[in-house]
């Protein structure tokens, strides 16, 4: 939540602001979906099943990719702004 006030403080243009804040919201959305997947799988059965493990791993991979997207968007913006 530190990044949204930072995005406001940096006063980027409209498009850059939308990309910066959008990348933050994307991480939150994907994390919520991942939590939903994991909760649904755990509710169905607590036994270890290869397909359940795969679904959880893919959800975690989606979170990782959204975090990578966040780092790239912010990194490219800050590089362009201060580099």
pTM of the model: 0.90
16-82, what's its fold? Answer: Helix Hairpins (1.10.287)
Residue 46 has pLDDT above 80, yes or no: no
The catalytic residue among 12, 31, 38, 67 is 31
Query: So what's the pLDDT on residue 26?
Result: 98
| Contact call for residues 74 and 7 (beta carbons, < 8 A) | no
Q: Where are the domains of the chain?
A: 16-82
Q: What SS3 class is residue 39?
A: helix
The model's pLDDT over 50-64, given as tens digits with 9 standing for 90+, comes to 999 999 999 999 999
Query: So what's the pLDDT on residue 82?
Result: 94
Q: Output the six-digit token pair for 20.
A: 């910066």
Tokens 């006030």 correspond to what residue? 5
Query: So what's the pLDDT on residue 53?
Result: 92
38 an active-site residue?
Answer: no
């Amino acid at each position: 939540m530190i990044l949204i006030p930072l995005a406001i403080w940096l006063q980027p243009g409209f498009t850059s602001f939308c990309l910066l804040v959008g990348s933050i919201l994307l991480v939150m959305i994907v994390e919520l979906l991942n939590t939903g997947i994991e909760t649904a799988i755990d509710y169905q059965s607590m036994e270890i099943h290869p397909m359940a493990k795969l679904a959880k791993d893919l959800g975690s991979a989606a979170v990782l990719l959204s975090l990578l997207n966040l780092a790239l968007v912010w990194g490219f913006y800050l590089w362009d702004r201060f580099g």
